[in-house]
Structure 1
Amino acid sequence: MDKSILADYLDSLEAKGIPGCDCVIFQNHKPVFRHTTGYSNASKTKPLTSANTYWLFSATKLITCTAVMQLVEKGKISLDAPVADYLPEYKHLNVKCGSDVVPAKNTLTIRHLLSMQSGLNYNLQAPSILKVLLDTKNEATTREVIRELAKEPLEFEPGTHFLYSLSHDVLGAVIEEASGQKFGEYLYEHILKPLGMKNTGFELTADREANMSEQFEFNMETMTSKPISIVNCYKLSNKYESGGAGLISTADDYILFLDAMCNDGVSAEGYRVLTRESIDMMRMDQMNDISKKDFDEFGRIGYSYGLGVRTLIDKEKSGVKSPLGEFGWDGAAGAYAVIDVENHVAIFYVQHVRNCGYAYSDIHPKIRDISYEMLGL
């Protein structure tokens, strides 16, 4: 196994505006590749290490949707049940119709939330959100924010289109209602702690903050990055736990989750996160023809969208070596997760660079393809 090709590629990214990055690959519960390169700060005085923490942003969604599927297995959530069964304020929703707002005809379901076909949007400045944050002096809980969000009109009838949105944040509130636990507590008890993910959570603890890699913003024209002070705009309040973008983690932690998922839902220590049946359900294409066209705008060639994950449906179109059904997702600062249940392979790449379209169009596909060549798959 020649690991130098992937290591050299990761090293080359600094010249492309990526200050530092970390990449780890597991196969059959064993680490087969690890390379950390670059720096965690703009002045290049702190080399990036395995101890560095990152905001996962949308890579959080994989864990949130896994938690939902756990509760589906336990009979506490039904995929096609109305969201209003768990969150009563979502019973009478409105939808935009041209310049008007009218009552929604379709019932919003849990499956619609998981597959981003809910009709919700990603407007963090929605009047209902701003009001609850103001009324609570920035102390609104997840449940309080999501309750107010129901007052906003949907962009379209549930189930008719795909739109990346706050759907998975709403799922965080569903998890609270279905489990009887605070969202973060549920994740800790049923996913993070049993998998040994000691440095993962919603809270920016002193230790996590001390090890936090500096965030950068990418300039595509100059292929350079500059440091930014914005921490996480998706953390709407001091008490808000975002199911779509709120977790902090390390590469060492997150790969443990991916490793369990790629090994039929079982960790190296024998903890079952999910059944293989649930994992297969997650990676099943959920898009109708119209929704598929919406998803294609993301540029994930050969992929469609399942229950909270991209899923490979066309190898010929994508030109990749990974098998059909390879799935995962990414994050706003460039994190990238690959789960391959056929070969029991998990890949996690992380950087801390916002607005970096280059990561999704070039870096992620390159890492995936080099990894499969390196592994001889």
Structure 2
Amino acid sequence: MTTKRWSVGTTMALALLTTAVAAQQPAPQPRPPAPRNADAASAAVLLPATQALYDGYVRAHKMPGIVGAFGLGDLPTVFVAAGDIALDPGAARAGPDSLWRIYSMTKPITGMAAMLLIEDGKLSLDDPLSRYFPAFGKMRVLTSPDTSLDTRPATRPITIRELMTHTSGIGYQINAKGPLLKEYERLGLIPATVNAQVEAQARPTRPASLAAFAERVAQAPLVAEPGTKWHYSMGLDVLAAVVEKASGMSFERFVQTRLLDPLKMTSTFWQVPRRDVGRFATNYAFVGENLSPADPAARSPWLEAPSFPYGGAGLVSSARDYDRFLHMLQNYGTLDGVRVMKDATARFGMSNLLPAGVTFESDGQVRGFGAGGVVYIADDPNGASKGSYGWAGAAGTLALVDPAKRFRSTIMVNYFPAEKWPLAKETFAALRNDAARLHGGRW
């Protein structure tokens, strides 16, 4: 089974933001991997090929540390861990409860939050966005997105479906160019935390609330006619504002009460508590072949409240927590006897929700797109079943749930660019080897 790198331009854009800073700092010398904890020792017995792969990554100085969470059915999750959460002397070992910036792996959580409101009858996929934010009622579309701000009137309204599936025509600071990029920067449309230097530049112009952010997005021109093209976007950040408006409570509180609390995801935060800085990983940037700290945990702006909760890239989480989210989806809405969403809601959120005639291509394969994540619309030759759902994060994190096989995987690392190593391909090759050893057959 294999997964793909779906974060599109995110990793490279964020790498450009941090490389200049990282290059000014001397590259620390990686140290040998720390002794395994109990979870990793167990993994060495159950998943030896995967454990050996991760130990090799750390030994070869490819990353300070890594944690994988792999689950099959309702058997106990197997955590494969190697290395430490930072290159600093005395840094904690990487483990199931280490904290990592998951960036765009926030999007499936936002998408499923919106699905809960659909379940509640407070939201519909085909509602016009202007029902919640009237400023989106008269949008304009760029005629040459990469070179000018010339526009024409949009002929179609933006819908909730299109926000959820990156087909709204809204763009993203990370993949914008030329005049449009400057316009986003002028409007403060930078919905992400990177490091202290970038935050000092972005915060003064960034809106201070989700509602204000949505209103600012409505001032920017669209890059495409709504419902006609897949274009990675700020749509999930705007969707978070819709969740807030439709639910009548803050987006943070809605996610906390409807998803995080019922799932006992106690290590998932918009702001890392100071008490937990000791398990918060440092984020690194590769400068050539050297790892240099782009966002040291002890001085990270993630320790402060964000301008607003970023629905597209705002969460820090642990391998254990994100595995619980995927486990609930694998079970179509339940975990540990607690029903978080209806069976039909989970299935719907993991189905292809793209507007008619629109496709999403990943690594040369045609995919669908659901509630904030990719959807496999056919069995993948490398192993992922039709109906598999997931997404990736800008700093290397990966998540996939395969409900047909009742399998799920979460991989946590923190470095830019995420594409530096073929992490997904090599991990799932190792898992196949482990599965063949355990079961005598192909996974």
Tell me the equivalent position of 1:144: 212
How do residues 52-91 of structure 1 correspond to structure 2 at under 5 angstroms? 52-91=98-137
Aligned mate of 2:64, from 19, 28, 35: 19
Structure 1 residue corresponding to 2:139, chosen from 86, 89, 93: 93
1:225 aligns to what?
A: 291
Among residues 399, 403, 411, which one is paired with 1:337 in the alignment? Answer: 399
Q: Distance in 2 between matches of 1:123 and 1:233?
A: 20
Counterpart of 1:374 in structure 2 is: 434
Deviations, residues 281-328 of structure 1 (Å, cap 9, x unaligned): 223334469743xx42x427464323321122343xx42122111111
User: Which of 129, 144, 156 pairs up with 1:106?
Assistant: 156
Matches of residues 201-280 of structure 1 in structure 2 within 5 Å?
201-218=269-286, 222=289, 224-229=290-295, 238-268=306-336, 270-280=337-347
User: Are 1:115 and 2:165 counterparts?
Assistant: yes
Aligned mates of 1:169, 1:215 — CA distance in 2: 23
Letter paired with 1:280: R
Question: Displacement of 1:153 after TM fit?
Answer: 0.2
Q: 1:237 to 1:121 in 2, by over 3 A?
A: farther
Q: CA deviation at 1:329?
A: 0.6
Residue range with higher mean Cα deviation, 136-145 or 110-119: 136-145
State the 1:167 CA deviation. Answer: 0.5
Q: Secondary structure at 2:372's aligned position in 1? A: coil
Shift of 1:233: 9.1
Q: Distance in 1 between matches of 2:70 and 2:203?
A: 46
Report the more deviating stretch, 84-93 or 328-337: 84-93
Per-residue CA shift, 1:233-271, capped at 9, x if unaligned? 999983310000001111111111111110111012x22
Could you give the per-residue CA deviations for residues 54-83 of structure 1, whole angstroms, max 9, x where no partner exists? 111001011100100011011101001101
Q: Deviations over 1:341-361 (max 9, x none)?
A: 1222221110011212135xx
Within 5 Å, give how 1:151-190 maps onto structure 2: 151-190=219-258
Gapped regions of structure 2 (runs ≥ 5): 1-44, 175-183, 192-200
Distance 1:343 1:314 in 2: 14
Unaligned runs of 5+ in 1: none
Q: Secondary structure at the match of 2:124?
A: coil
Code of the residue aligned with 2:187 in structure 1: it is S
Structure 1 length-normalised TM: 0.88
Instruction: Provide Cα deviations, 1:83-117, integer angstroms capped at 9, x if missing partner.
Output: 11112221111111235212211110000011100
CA RMSD of superposed structures (Å): 2.9
Counterpart contact for 2:271–2:305, Cα < 8 Å: no
Give 1:137 deviation, angstroms.
7.4
Against the structure 1 CA distance between its residues 131 and 42, is the aligned structure 2 distance closer, same or farther, given a 3 Å change threshold? closer
Using the alignment, how far apart are the partners of 1:244 and 1:118 within structure 2? 15
Which amino acid in the other structure matches residue 285 of structure 1? N
Q: Distance in 1 between matches of 2:302 and 2:347?
A: 29
Do the aligned partners of residues 320 and 334 (structure 1) sit closer, same or farther apart at CA in structure 2, a change above 3 Å counting?
A: same
> 2:345 aligned with 1:284, yes or no?
no
> TM-score scaled to structure 2, two decimals?
0.76
Cα deviation for residue 370 of structure 1 reads 3.5
> Residues of 2 paired with 1:242 and 1:59: CA distance?
12
Q: Quick check: 1:335–1:348 contact (8 Å CA) kept in 2?
A: yes
| Percent pairwise identity | 25
Q: Secondary structure at the match of 2:63?
A: coil
Structure-2 change in CA distance of 1:117 and 1:138 (3 Å):
closer
- Partner of 1:306 in structure 2? 370
Does the CA contact (< 8 Å) of 1:321 and 1:369 recur in 2?
no
> Which of the residues 401, 425, 434 maps onto 1:365?
425
Cα offset, 1:218, TM superposition:
3.0
Q: Which letter does structure 1 place at the counterpart of 2:102?
A: L
Which letter maps to 2:48?
S
- Deviations along 1:109-157, one digit per CA (max 9) or x if unpaired, are 0000111001111117432226999997767111111211110000010
